[in-house]
Structure formats: structure tokens, C-alpha cells
Amino acid sequence: MYAADENRYDGRMPVRRAGNKGLQLPAVSFGMWHSFGDEANYSDSEKVILKAFDSGIFSFDLAYNYGPGSGAAERLFGQVYQANLKPYRDELVITTKAGYHMWPGPYGQMSSRKTLINALDGSLKRMGLDYVDIYYSHRFDPNTDPAETAEALDSIVRSGKALYIGISNYNNAQTKAIMKIFKELHTPFVVNQLSYNMLNREVEDDGVLDTLKENNLGMVAYGPLAEGLLTNRYLGGIPEDFQIHWSSTDVMDQGRAKLTEKLNQLNEIAKNRDQTMAQMSLAWLLKDPVVVSVVTGASKVSHLEDNLKAVQNIRFSADEIEKIDSIIKG
């Protein structure tokens, strides 16, 4: 019988607030995008999820399409939740999303009212939950009036099936448009989840980061390690078959050799901070208070423990920030 570590809130994992909202998240959230599909080993998955909770990570980030196999990650998490975490439901922040391909037909993606409501019902059933803490529109729907999306999300909160609303992959203009409707509806909109890392600064250039700050909202950063580029794995070179996430393709613009050179320079800064490059990359995101949490996955307990060390030092000197920026922009 699982019993959570009594010292899980001993301060090892900082807790951060989304602007001036009631939503609080651990600095690191546990993401289930990769490694939790139909072929995942249940025992290994259970170990790393429970280790995350024992380490102060009380936020678990899912989506209908996470797997591989639509619904697979939610099913697996639901099994672990029912077997171990259900007594701790009031402590947990469980989030899911709808918008990318989920099931066949025209309603199996995007952000219509029917899609969002049907998707959440399926997600709740798979996880064995009465509600999720944050429900996200996973991407902007260019063919549906944002008012329909916003009103559907607002009605979901009022139905009791979600406590807060989030958006994901919405750029600055899209964020401003739907935020205006949320304000009129008094919807508890709290965060935008976006791709962000040391190499991919699109959220800075686009202005969405500033918009979130100005409106006392939070940002949740996904892809913090750029599919592993910001680890020690590719210091010797990036293979030709390496696949970057669609949101970070620009980081390859100068070619693999130039990027490898930059990675080695960044690694030297990390060494001087007594951090791995992965730890420094997570810490770099957390230096900005608008980043309420960084989503990172782990298929092994050792990987999780390594990532957790990042929160021990999230302070950067002006010189370090300047050096990092000059490397990235060089």
C-alpha cells in the first residue's frame, strides 16, 4: 500500500504562483507526453510517477492525444492514480488538453464546443476523475470563432468538470483575442502553455510573454530541453535523423555543426555553475517569475532525480545571462 513521503513539501521543490491567481504549481511539473503510451511498462511508470509526488511534484500534465495511442497516457495515469494517489486528490493538480488529433472525423481535433466537451468527458473517464484542475485548449482553431471556444471552456468550468482554464500554443495575438472574451465571461483563465527553452525564444520575440506578465497570468513552459539538444547527449554532434519538435525548428537554421558548437559553449557555462546542461536549461527558464512551472518528463527515476537538482540554483548573474544570449544569437 503506497504512502506518500511525509517530507514531500519540505521546500526542496519551490511552489510558484500564476501571476496573482490562486493557481500554484511546483516549479517542475511531470509531463506525460512521451514514454507513457500503449507499450509503456506499468511498473516503471508507476515508480517514476510516485517518486515525482514524493519529491514535491504535485502537478501532472497530460493531453487526450498523449501516448502514443490516443488516450494511452491518460489511461496509464488513471491506473496509477486509482491504485496509489486517489487519497491525495486534494493536493494534486491534474491537467489535460484537447485540440490535436484524438479520434477519426471532423470533431476529433481543434476547439469546437462539441470537440472540447466530448474530449474532456473521455479524459475524465479514462483517469477516473470527477474534474481536472486545468483544462487546456491545446491549439488555436483558425476556423472556429474564438468566442465559441471560450464559451465552451467557460461552461466546462461552470459544470464543475474543470477548476481553471488554460490555452496552449496560442501566439500573442491569439492570446489577446481569447483573453478578452474570458475577461467578459469572468472565466478563471490562468496560464498559456508554450514551447520555450534557451534555444527557442519565439515567445519573447512574439510578445506573448509580456502579455501574460502584464495581465497577471502565468506561463507553463514545455519542451525545456529541446528534445534532448540541451543535454550532454549531442555534444559530439547531432545525427542526420534527429527530429526536432515543430515548435523549435528554427534552432536548426544555422546547421547542425554550428548548433553543436553552441551546445558545447553552453555546456561550459553549466560546468562553471556546477550543473549539467539540462539542469542549467531548466533553471534558466525558472529565473523568470512569469514561468510558473516547467514541464519535463522522465521514464526513469534517475532521470527525474537529475532534473530535480535544477531547482537548487535558479539564480543567474548578469554576466551569465549575457554570455548565454551571445552564444544563442551568435
Q: Using pLDDT thresholds of 50, 70 and 90, give the confidence band for residue 28.
A: very high
The per-residue pLDDT for 145 is 98
pLDDT higher than threshold 80 for residue 226: yes
H-helix or E-strand spanning residue 132: strand 132-137
Rounded to an integer, the average pLDDT of 48-64 is 98
Phi-psi region of 69 (alpha: psi -120 to 50; beta: other; left: phi over 0): left
Helix then strand then coil, % of the chain, to nearest 5: 45, 15, 40
Torsion of CA 308, 233, 325, 166, to 10 degrees: -50
**Contact (CB, 8 A) for 94 and 60:** yes
Which three cell numbers mark 233? Answer: 547527449
Dihedral pair phi/psi, residue 242, rounded to 5°: -65, 130
Rounded to an integer, the average pLDDT of 128-137 is 98
**152 contacts: CB under 8 Å, gap ≥ 6:** 111, 112, 113, 116, 117
Calculate Rg over the CA atoms of the chain: 19
The model's pLDDT over 69-96, given as tens digits with 9 standing for 90+, comes to 999 999 999 999 999 999 999 999 999 9
User: Above pLDDT 70, what percent of the chain?
Assistant: 100
Cβ atoms < 10 Å from Cβ of 148: 16
- Of 255 and 172, the one with more pLDDT: 172
User: Above pLDDT 90, what percent of the chain?
Assistant: 91
Q: With 0-12 CB in 10 A as exposed, 13-18 as middle and 19+ as buried, what is 117?
A: middle
- Of 248 and 40, the one with more pLDDT: 40
pLDDT higher than threshold 80 for residue 245: no
Q: Using pLDDT thresholds of 50, 70 and 90, give the confidence band for residue 253.
A: confident
CA pair distance 316, 309, nearest whole angstrom: 15
Which three cell numbers mark 134? Answer: 486545468
Q: Using pLDDT thresholds of 50, 70 and 90, give the confidence band for residue 248.
A: confident
**Contact (CB, 8 A) for 49 and 83:** no
Dihedral pair phi/psi, residue 98, rounded to 5°: -140, 140
CA pair distance 153, 227, nearest whole angstrom: 30
The model's pLDDT over 266-291, given as tens digits with 9 standing for 90+, comes to 999 999 999 999 999 999 999 999 99
The per-residue pLDDT for 246 is 78
**41 contacts: CB under 8 Å, gap ≥ 6:** none
CA pair distance 295, 311, nearest whole angstrom: 13
pTM beyond 0.75, yes or no: yes
CA pair distance 76, 74, nearest whole angstrom: 5
Q: Using pLDDT thresholds of 50, 70 and 90, give the confidence band for residue 252.
A: confident
Rounded to an integer, the average pLDDT of 30-48 is 93
Mean pLDDT of the chain: 96
CA pair distance 296, 192, nearest whole angstrom: 16
Termini Cα distance of the chain: 54
**Contact (CB, 8 A) for 190 and 166:** yes
Largest distance between two CA atoms of the chain? 54
The per-residue pLDDT for 179 is 98
The model's pLDDT over 190-206, given as tens digits with 9 standing for 90+, comes to 999 999 999 999 999 99
